[in-house]
Amino acid sequence: MATPRFIYFDLGNVLVHFDHHRGARQMAAVAGVSKRLVWEVVFESELELEYERGTISTREFYEVFCDRTGTLPEYEALLFAASDIFELNGSIVPLLSELRERGNRLGILSNTNESHWNFITDGRFPIIQEYFELYALSYEMRVTKPDIECYQRAAAFAGVDPEDIFFTDDRADNVAGALTAKFDAVQYTGVDALRSEMQLRRIVN
């Protein structure tokens, strides 16, 4: 198998674990409503998806939330409650260190929103700035995985052909989209399995 010229990692449940239910509970506490209502407003509607696609701004997300819940929570407190849902996947850090030491170019290709990304990159997770040279983010690109345009733009950001990119994501549909876009892609199920796939491609020893 060919050795790639660029490696993209998904963010959620690959580099960091996340829990939307925790976010819903925290938002509910800030707004003074039930978790069930928050879940319906944010995750069972198109609101979260629109925010990740960048079709609405952070302020617009807040305003829609307020309108649909009939509340007026403090702006920054609500955003923090929605974003304080991440934990580092510490098991992947040694692999990232090895990849960097071997001179691999690394990037993040993620469906995410502005509030979550600001939280992730405020210093809590220094691996983001230390190991990755570029970030292909859905809310900035205005397109989400598994839309083929998302991968095409990510390849353009990296400055390499899609065939020269290796990508891993925990979601099978996002991996399928990457394969359609001619990435070399595998589903992330754990560090050991990912290392084995990288060994097949002579990325690591």
pLDDT tens over the chain, length 205 residues: 789 999 999 999 999 999 999 999 999 999 999 999 999 999 999 999 999 999 999 999 999 999 999 999 999 999 999 999 999 999 999 999 999 999 999 999 999 999 999 999 999 999 999 999 999 999 999 999 999 999 999 999 999 999 999 999 999 999 999 999 999 999 999 999 999 999 999 999 8
Q: What domain range includes position 103?
A: 6-17+86-200
Residues 65 and 96 both lie in one domain? no
Tell me how far apart the alpha carbons of residues 28 and 36 are, in angstroms, rounded to a whole number: 8
Domain limit, last residue, from 66, 83, 100: 83
Question: Which amino acid is present at 78?
Answer: L
Residues 122 and 101 both lie in one domain? yes
State how many domains the chain has.
2
CB 106 within 8 A of CB 158: no
The pLDDT assigned to 1 comes to: 78
The pLDDT assigned to 205 comes to: 87
Residues 127 and 182 both lie in one domain? yes
The pLDDT assigned to 27 comes to: 98
The pLDDT assigned to 160 comes to: 98
The pLDDT assigned to 179 comes to: 98
Residues 101 and 184 both lie in one domain? yes
Residues 162 and 70 both lie in one domain? no
Question: Which amino acid is present at 128?
Answer: I
Residues 101 and 196 both lie in one domain? yes
Residues 69 and 117 both lie in one domain? no
Phi and psi dihedrals of 150, rounded to 5?
A: -60, -45
Q: Is residue 205 part of a domain?
A: no
Tokens coding 110: 């993620």
Report the DSSP pairing between strands 184-187 and 16-18.
unpaired
Q: Give the residues across from 8 on adjacent strands.
A: 107, 167
Residues 176 and 195 both lie in one domain? yes
Q: With a threshold of 0.85, does the pTM exceed it?
A: yes
Domain limit, last residue, from 83, 105, 122: 83
Residues 28 and 12 both lie in one domain? no
Name the DSSP letter for residue 173. H
